[in-house]
Amino acid sequence: MDRNSCLNYFQAFPFWEHMTEEDRNFLLDNIRELHYPAGAAIQSEERQCLGTLFLLKGVLRVYLLSAQGKEATLYRLRNSDICTLSASCMLSAITFDVQIDAETDCDLLLLPAVPFSRLMKNNIYLENFIYKRTTEHFSDVIAGIERTFFMTLTQRIAAFLLDEAADTGSDELALTQEAIARSIGSAREAVSRSLKKMNKDGSIQISRGSIRILDKRRLYEMMNTF
């Protein structure tokens, strides 16, 4: 992406009109374009606090990783979304570190942590924008926690599949059973058993590396059966 394309991209954000010309040029001078293949670790224990990520294309998974290797997905980011927790070291209200993986091939713009910190200090509009985006993503985190504590495994899988269908606009989901297990924080074997039952009752159709939703009404019924 050339400088003019970056300029056009950032002009759409509400903080842009409140930035000085110096800060605008500073942002454009420091922005980096990155590409990550599917499966790549974007942020990990070895590479913490990159800065703010602007997702141009692809799907990112933001998650926590325990010392024992257990994963808990916080949320996913898709085309045109912004990852603020990749700059958590610069956000005073955030006191934990996250891991970020590319679930698909991803094209990103990165504003590194140091220039990001300078711009945040110079511009309260940018600071408010970043904290607002962070707060919005925490709604997804709370929804995930509620499902973990108050839903059965089958209900969590049904909710996850319906959310994925809504986000992608397709009933054909490119998902492995391992990916579903990671996303909802369960064991692959348990997820596999539940998916087989859902496949048998006609709710879904399982293929290698994909799942097709056949009966959304049935999935909604599963979610609301207590």
Write the DSSP string, 141-166. Answer: HHHHHHHHHHS-HHHHHHHHHHHHHH
Beta bridge mates, 63: 73, 99
Its CATH architecture, for the domain 3-144, is: Sandwich (2.60)
* Residue 213 tokens, joined: 């939703």
pLDDT at 113: 86
Q: How far apart are the first and last CA of the chain?
A: 50
What would the pLDDT profile of 43-69 be if each residue is shown by its tens digit? 765 556 788 899 999 999 888 777 777
Domain boundaries, the chain: 3-144, 151-224
Tell me what the pLDDT averaged over the chain comes to: 86
Cα atoms in the Cβ-side hemisphere of radius 13 Å centred on 73: 24
**151-224 has which fold?**
Arc Repressor Mutant, subunit A (1.10.10)
| Top-confidence residue, 203 or 148 | 203
Q: What kind and span of H or E run contains 84?
A: none
pLDDT of 179 above 60: yes
Q: What percent of the chain has pLDDT over 70?
A: 92
- 1 CB-near residues (< 8 Å, 6+ apart): 9, 33, 56, 109
185: exposed, middle or buried (Cβ count in 10 Å: 0-12, 13-18, 19+)? middle
Check: pTM over 0.85? Answer yes or no.
no
pLDDT of 127 above 80: yes
- 109 CB-near residues (< 8 Å, 6+ apart): 1, 6, 9, 31, 32, 33, 34, 53, 54, 56
Highest mean pLDDT among 21-25, 65-69, 177-181: 21-25
Phi, psi of 102 (to 5 degrees): -85, 115
